Structure 1
Amino acid sequence: MNRRDAIKNVALLLGSAISASTLAALDGCTSSAPKNYALQAPETKSTLAEIAETIIPETGTPGAKAAKVDDFIVTMMNDCYEQKDQQILLDGLKKIDEASNKQYKKAFVDLTAEQKTAVLTEIDKERVAYNKRENKGKDDPTHYFQFIKELTLLGYFTSEPGATKALRYVAVPGKFEGCIPYKKGDKAWAM
C-alpha cells in the first residue's frame, strides 16, 4: 500500500472530519501539478505551523509542529489541489492575519497561545456558518479554514509522532479481536 492509499484510508476512518473536497483532491494527487511557490514561502509555512500547533498543541504528546504538519499541508496543496484551492488557502492565511491585527494589533504568529485560540475559534465559527448557510450552491468554494483543519488532522494522524505517540500503534496487527476492553483515557488505535 502506498502513502496516498494509506492517507485515503485514514481519511475515511476520520469520517466527517474530512470533507468530500479533500477526498476528491487525494484522487488528483500528482507531483507534476503546477506548484504555487507562495505556499513554500517561509512566512506562509511559519503561519501554517502556528495554526496547526494551535489546532493540535503539544501536550503529553507531540504537537503539530513536531509532526511537521506545515510541510505536509504545503506538499498536499501543491501536489493534490487545484490552483484555485491553493489561492483560497493563501487568501485565508491573509484573513487570519487581518483578524489577528484587528483584534490584537499583531500578526497571528506573534500572538500568545490563548490569543491564537481565540482568533481561530472565531474563524471556525465563521466556517461552520458558511457550511450551514441555506443558499449554499454545490459549486461554492470550500472555506479556507476547512482546508487547514482537515489537512492538519490528516497530516498529524498519518505522521510518525501522531500515529505512534498520540494513537496506539501496532505495526503488524495480529489476529482479529472483536472485543477489546476499553479503559477511560485509552488512546484510539492507529492503522
Structure 2
Amino acid sequence: MDRRDAVKYISVLMGSALVGGDAFLLGCKSNSGKTDWLSAESVAYLDEIGETILPRTKTPGAKDAQVGKFMQVMVNDCYEEGDQRAFKEGMDKLNDASKKKFDKTFMEASPEQRKELLIAVDKEAKDYQKSIADYNRVEDDKYNKNLSYVRQKKSPHYFTMMKQLTLLGFFTSKPGLTQALRYNAVPGKFEGCIPYKKGDPAFA
C-alpha cells in the first residue's frame, strides 16, 4: 500500500478528507524539525489514545506501530498552523473530559473508561464535522466570488484528526502492513478474481 492508496483508504473509512493529506503525499513541509511541542509523556499519551482506537488483539495494536511518534511528525510537518493549534488544544480537552467524567486523567483511566470516553467524543466529533462542512462550503463560495476575500475555514474536530492519524500511522507501518493486512512483498501473476471468505483481511 503506497501513500496515495493509504490516504484514499483512510478518507473512505472516515468519510472525510484526510487533514494534511496533500502535504503527506508531497512529502510534507520543512518545519526545521521542531517537535519540542510534544514531550515524551505527550507521545506516550497519544500512543494510549491510538491504542484505545486500535487495540492489540490477534494482530498488533496502535502502540506496536508507534502511532504517537507518527502523530508528532505529521502534525508538526504536514498540518497547517490552525490545525496544529486545534490538535494541541484537543489533547488538553480530551484530558479535561476524562477528569470531568471519571475524576481521572486519561492516562489514569482504565481501558474500559478510555473506550467509553472516546465513544462519546467520537459522536461529538461526527456532529461537529457535519456542522463545519456547511460553514466551510460557504467560506469557499465567498472566496470564489471575491478572490480578495480571505477564507476563514474552521479546523476539524481534534478527535477526527487523532483518529485519522491513528489509522494512517497504523496501516502504513510495518506491523500494520505485514501482520494486520495480507502482505505480499513480491506479487506473482495477476489474478483478477480471488475468492473472499468473510473475515479475511485486506491485501497490503
1:82 alignment partner in structure 2 = 80
Runs in 1 of length 4+ with deviation above 4 angstroms?
A: none
Corresponding residue for residue 178 of structure 1: 192
Shift of 1:28: 6.6
Q: TM-score with structure 1 length normalisation?
A: 0.89
1:60-88 Cα shifts (integer Å, max 9, x gaps):
01110011111111011111112322211
Q: SS of the residue aligned with 2:19?
A: helix
* 1:79-127 C-alpha deviation (Å, 9 max, x unpaired): 1112322211110010100110001011001111110011111111111
Between structure 1 and structure 2, the one with the greater Rg is 2
How does 1:1-191 map onto structure 2 within 5 Å? 6-16=2-12, 17=14, 19-26=17-24, 27=26, 29-32=28-31, 35-39=34-38, 41-133=39-131, 136-138=134-136, 139-190=153-204
User: What's the CA shift for 1:14?
Assistant: 3.5
Amino acid at match of 2:60: P
Fraction of identical pairs, as percent:
45
Question: CA contact under 8 A between 1:127 and 1:143: conserved in structure 2?
Answer: yes
Q: Distance in 2 between matches of 1:29 and 1:124?
A: 27
What is the alpha-carbon root mean square deviation over aligned residues?
A: 2.0
Distance 1:86 1:173 in 2: 39
Listed as ranges, the gaps of 5+ residues in structure 1 are none
How many residues of Structure 1 are paired with residues of Structure 2 in the alignment?
185
Maintained 8 Å contact 1:11/1:23: yes
What is the DSSP-based 3-state SS (H/G/I as helix, E as strand, rest coil) of the residue aligned with 1:30? coil
* Residues 179, 14 of structure 1: alpha-carbon distance in 2 compared, 3 angstrom cutoff: farther
Q: Which sits farther off after the overlay, 114-123 or 74-83? A: 74-83
